[in-house]
Each structure stands twice: as C-alpha cells, then as structure tokens.
C-alpha cells in the first residue's frame, strides 16, 4: 500500500476509495480516447488541417483535466451515503 492509503479502511486522506479513483480514471481515459478518435476521423476525412487536429486533441485533454477536480468533489460528497 502507498503511504497515503490506510490498510484498514482502504481510503485516501480525502475520503475517496481506491475503487472511486479507478472509476474516475477510467472515465477520463474513456473521454480522452473518444476525443482522440474524433480528431483522427476529422483528420482522415480532411475536415480539418493537421494543426487544427492537434489543437483539438490538446483542448480535449485540458477540458477533461479541468473537470477532474469537480468530479472528485462530487464523488467525495456521495461517498458516505448508502444507496
């Protein structure tokens, strides 16, 4: 186990469990993959020039990273509530 994770509780100091963090990471990777496919399709279909495709990929990556802290706060708010 890493230093920030309690072996007994399985949670990090911010209250997120490893499973919740894994879910967040999978969402981010999924969104990045979708954006990359869209950028590649646009490039192959000649809808955009190559620099435009590169900008699109960078913008998509930044948008996903900007939304990550918001997702962590929302997930942390629901962590203590039972379904």
**Per the domain annotation, does 6 fall within a domain?**
no
What pLDDT score does 29 carry?
93
Which of 24 and 72 is assigned the larger pLDDT?
A: 24
* Residue 29 lies in domain: 18-75
**Contact (Cβ atoms closer than 8 angstroms) between residue 32 and residue 60:** yes
**Per the domain annotation, does 82 fall within a domain?**
no
Q: Which residues contact 63 (CB under 8 A, 6 or more apart)?
A: none
**Per the domain annotation, does 22 fall within a domain?**
yes
Paired tokens of 7? 């072996």
**Per the domain annotation, does 55 fall within a domain?**
yes
**Per the domain annotation, does 56 fall within a domain?**
yes
**Per the domain annotation, does 26 fall within a domain?**
yes
CA distance linking residue 57 with residue 18, whole number of Å: 28
- Give me the mean pLDDT over the 60-66 stretch: 82
Q: What is the pLDDT of residues 23-51, one digit of tens each?
A: 989 999 999 999 899 888 877 776 556 77
Please tell me the total count of domains within the chain.
1
Residue with tokens 């435009």: 52
CA angle 73, 11, 9 (to 5 degrees): 145
Read off the pTM: 0.43
């Amino acid at each position: 186990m890493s230093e920030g994770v309690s072996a007994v509780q399985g949670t990090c100091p911010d209250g997120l469990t490893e499973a919740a963090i894994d879910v967040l990471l999978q969402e981010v990777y999924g969104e990045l993959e979708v954006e990359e496919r869209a950028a590649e399709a646009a490039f192959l279909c000649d809808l955009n020039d190559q620099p435009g495709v590169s900008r699109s990929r960078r913008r998509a990556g930044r948008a996903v990273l900007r939304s990550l802290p918001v997702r962590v706060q929302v997930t942390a708010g629901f962590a203590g509530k039972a379904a």
